[in-house]
Amino acid sequence: MTLRAFSISALLVLLFSVGCESSHNSTVTRGLSVTGKVGEILVVCDQDVWNSEIKNYLDTGLTNWIMPYFPDVATFQLVHKTPIHFTQGVKRYRNTLFINIDPTYEGEYGSIVKRNDVWAVGQLVVDITGKDYNQVLETCKLGLSEVHEEFDTKEWSRILSNFSRNKNTKIRNEVKQNFGIDFVLPSSSKLVSKRKNFYRIEFPAASRPIEFVGTGTEDVGSIFSGIMVYQYDSVDSTQFQFDALLAARDTMLKYNVPHEIEGMYMGTQYNELVYPEGNIMSTVDGKLNGFEMRGMFMFKGLPKHSTGGAFWAFHFRNEVTNKMVCVSGYVDAPATTSWTHPLREIQAILKSVEIVK
């Protein structure tokens, strides 16, 4: 078990617990996988703490939105257990946050400590500790943004690690030969469209619960997702301008992603509520920098109502082939299911991209 303390840049300097903790017995975590859903944080604290003002800060600091999707996609949802219920049940939740009021704690400020692989491999546990309620409240006010960042990074890196075990040798070799890049993929992925400058890889269909609000019942809805890879000649730096990337995307989709209805094709949604957003992104190894873009797609071409979904793309220049390359994931799912898990899978794949020589 590893232990590391956070640091916080804030108005006040919090005292973070730094120290040695005896290594966890490896036989406890060996072979045990994490439980709980992707996109959930289990908060372990007393009921009166959960019902207090601290809960408002937890909601604000830990349930940020992945923009600009509709319906809204939260990075995390919070699940609560009291310490007694946690002790009596399964302890292997992938993301676990303990909020502790300890009268024996002697720090001038509250502490935030991170622990890895405590009860399961891949588990992240964070402890927030203070000597009284006010100290814990102040610690949550100042430190939850970094706590969110740690859980956020762990969520996609955990998926990346799982996908890395799936070799998918045939598909990945074809991508390497045609585009000069590589990335991880879920098992049983299929290459369903193959052209000189455009590939589409389909992931195995996933089934997740559909929640019927107000009824307390669930059904199962199918989620279809995958990755598209396309490239075009690199000319100059203006190709990285936001509008230029969107124009290239729409052109490539129009000619390569037709709908089952003739005359319709995949395109970008430009409604102001879901207008694409983006920012600079680096891959997990830090060797490749580019521009990520998130938004919604729909099928265009005819005046008919059509389905759509979410996309998350990564644009970069391949210095070896002198090509502009885009790896773009898509999710087509019912609005009543959570999109968090499939979008996290796409995020993990984008983070894994590397140029091969």
Count of H-run helices and E-run strands, the chain: 8, 17
What is the CATH topology of the domain spanning 167-355?
Protein Transport Mog1p; Chain A (3.40.1000)
In this prediction, residue 18 carries a pLDDT of: 33
Cβ neighbours of residue 295 closer than 8 Å, sequence gap 6 or more? 68, 268, 269, 274, 275, 276, 277, 310, 311
In the sheet with 77-81, reading across from the earlier edge strand, the strands are 2-5, 111-116, 124-130, 95-101, 40-44, 77-81
Indicate the domain borders of the chain: 2-163, 167-355
User: Is the peptide bond preceding residue 68 cis, with omega within 30 degrees of 0?
Assistant: yes
Per-position pLDDT tens, the chain of length 357? 554 454 444 433 443 443 333 334 444 556 789 999 999 999 999 999 999 999 999 999 999 999 999 989 999 999 999 999 999 999 999 999 999 999 999 999 999 999 999 999 999 999 999 999 999 999 999 999 999 999 999 999 999 999 999 989 999 999 999 999 999 999 999 999 999 999 999 999 875 554 444 444 444 567 899 999 999 999 999 999 999 999 999 999 999 998 878 888 999 999 999 999 999 999 999 999 999 999 999 998 887 766 789 999 999 999 999 999 999 999 998 878 889 999 999 999 999 999 998
In this prediction, residue 60 carries a pLDDT of: 96
Pairwise CA distance, residues 352 & 172, whole Å: 13
In this prediction, residue 9 carries a pLDDT of: 42
The architecture (CATH level 2) of 2-163 comes to 2-Layer Sandwich (3.30)
pLDDT single digits (tens) 124-143? 999 999 999 999 999 999 99
